[in-house]
Chain A
Amino acid sequence: MTGPAVRVIVAVDPDRYADVVSALRRAGLEVDREWPRTGTLAGRAEPACVPVLRGIDGVLGVGAPRTFRITPQG
């Protein structure tokens, strides 16, 4: 992979998981973690690739990872 990569999380159709992930890899996604059961994976891609990933048939969503927190009030 060339250029700075961005981290992404991706949701795919679980019923076509393997085929969709193959297409994602071909489009430039480097897969770091996979959760086939729930159709979710995490990886890295060049920013220019992200719109391409979103357009792949069977991809349900591509987002940037976030940080969570708890916020108790007292």
Chain B
Amino acid sequence: MTDRPFPDDAQRADLGIDAQPGLYTGRHLLLLSDTDVGAALSALREGAGVRAYPGGASGTPDEGSAAVFDRLGVAVVSADPGRHEALLATARQAPSILAVELERWMFGFGAPTAAIAAEEGHATWGLRATGVPESACRAHGVRVAVLDTGFAPVHRDFADRVVVKVSFVPGRTADDRHGHGTHCIGTACGPRRPGTHPAYGIASEAEIYAGKVLDDAGSGTDLSVIAGIDWAVGEGCRVISLSLGAPVRSGEGYSRVYESLARRARALGTLIVAAAGNDSGRPGYVAPVSHPANCPSILAVAALAPDLSVAGFSAGGGTVDISAGGGTVDISAGGGTVDTSAGGGTVDLAAPGVDVLSAAPEPAGHARMSGTSMAAPHVAGIVALLAEAYPCASASELADRVLGGARALPVPSTDVGSGLVQAPR
């Protein structure tokens, strides 16, 4: 790390605006030091004549003003071309301004594929988008762990399935009284032919390991989650799906403990997949990938809508690495507001995560939910299919295969990684 918090080539990267008309709103996103927002705003006022007001107010900032989101350490600045140079110069000189990017529109990237969601006759839109109905694999005998709120005591679609349930929440059985865990298990391991509903499950012949690590209100602790991971690894599960997380602050970095845990799990044959997080408020703010999905050895999964656009809530990877020193401002990648964590923090894959039909505790039996929580089990289920197709593959080889088989999308890789996960044929 040098004493210059803002690299010299920022302006050069900024010139990429003109090369991609229509992707940007014309406003700037500033990442401010969490501990020195006041200094950043003073620098903006004195260096670029920018006035600040609370970002919670409605409307968009007028030219020469900044909507400031204190809690997030983010400001959205409207600056005309005459003020642009002064803004960049101020950002370079003020240590309390960590990065500048161009605010981007999140709509209109590529052609919508609304036909996918037009009807869910034989299979959900998520299964169809990921090629599951065409896959000959069923993950027969593959063990899949879903660590969440548990699993429904009984369910009509799972009557003939192997379901191993263990609770790691003190004083609670593994029964799901929330619904989130049952929904995730339904996507990862549910049936391909559930009867009255569209097919919604991927690894339809997998052995299900349902670990309750979150209580019935949807909260849990490290002790429960680590215990659940250790259990799943010990049971020989080839993949663990984590639809849980804790938000991280920009620049916080990933947990060395969980990274070590994930590496050890891989060495023992288990790949961990996790939801990237739901804290974005696009297009204005793209939250950094949550813990533990931000660990390099855990696959972080973003959420897509039925038209294959990035879900507004889906977390995104960073484009600037200031804490490591020598980073460049990659405005041309259009990465939204940045996560400055040193390593990790990237989205690896994307999967369906909006309006996802899956299992629910009885008597309802089925429900639709949205979130990166719904996207992660799509990837976990497809990893299980790959484990059937390549039974001798190591966990890291499975990771390479699921990443390599993804369908590229016409959106920045910071939002979707390798693209839309695809099932093996």
Contact = CB atoms under 8 A, between A and B. Distances in A.
Given A39-B264, A67-B246, A68-B214, A74 B369 contact: yes
B260 A68 contact: no
A62 B259 CA distance: 11
B225 A39 contact: no
A71 B247 CA distance: 11
A60 to B, nearest CB: 4
Nearest to B368: A74
Interface string A40-74: 10100000000000000000111101111111111
Contact of B260 (A37, A39, A73): A39
A71 B278 contact: yes
A63 B214 CA distance: 20
A28 interface: no
Given A14-B264, A38-B230, A68 B257 contact: no
Contact of B246 (A11, A38, A68): A68
A69 B233 contact: no
Contacts of B311: 73
Contact of A37 (B180, B234, B354): B234
A6 interface: no
Given A63-B255, A70-B214, A35 B369 contact: no
Contacts of A70: 148-149, 178, 180, 214, 218, 243-244, 371, 373
B369 A66 contact: no
Nearest to B313: A73
A23 interface: no
Interface size class of A (residues with CB under 8 A): 20 to 34
Given A9-B222, A66-B222, A71-B373, A38 B257 contact: no
B159 to A, nearest CB: 26
Interface residues of B, number: 46
Nearest to A69: B219
A26 interface: no
Contact of B371 (A14, A39, A66, A72): A72
Interface in A1-52: 9-12, 14, 33, 35, 37-40, 42
A61 B226 contact: no
Contacts of A12: 260
Nearest to A61: B256
A44 B323 CA distance: 30
Nearest to A10: B257
Nearest to A32: B223
Given A71-B371, A73-B370, A66 B291 contact: yes
Contacts of B258: 11, 63
A67 B219 CA distance: 7
A9 B243 contact: no
B201 interface: no
B370 A42 contact: no
Interface in B129-160: 148-149
Given A37-B234, A38-B229, A40-B230, A68 B219 contact: yes
B230 A11 contact: no
A51 B368 CA distance: 47
Given A72-B180, A73-B369, A66 B243 contact: no
B371 A40 contact: no
Contacts of A68: 213-214, 219-222, 225, 244-246
Given A35-B227, A35-B230, A42-B222, A69 B257 contact: no
Contacts of B257: 9-11, 40, 60-63
B163 interface: no
B369 to A, nearest CB: 5
A70 B246 CA distance: 9
23 contacts: A9-B226, A11-B260, A33-B223, A37-B233, A37-B268, A38-B226, A38-B229, A38-B268, A40-B226, A40-B264, A42-B222, A42-B226, A68-B221, A68-B222, A68-B244, A68-B246, A70-B371, A72-B180, A73-B278, A73-B369, A73-B371, A74-B368, A74-B369
Shortest 8 CB-CB distances between A and B: which pairs? Answer: A61-B256, A11-B260, A73-B370, A35-B230, A65-B222, A61-B257, A60-B260, A70-B218
Interface of B: 148-149, 178, 180, 213-214, 218-223, 225-227, 229-230, 233-234, 243-246, 255-261, 264-265, 268, 277-279, 291, 311, 313, 354, 368-371, 373-374
Given A42-B223, A73-B313, 19 more contacts: A9-B226, A10-B257, A11-B257, A11-B260, A35-B226, A37-B233, A38-B226, A60-B256, A60-B257, A63-B258, A65-B221, A65-B223, A68-B244, A68-B245, A70-B178, A70-B243, A71-B245, A73-B354, A74-B370
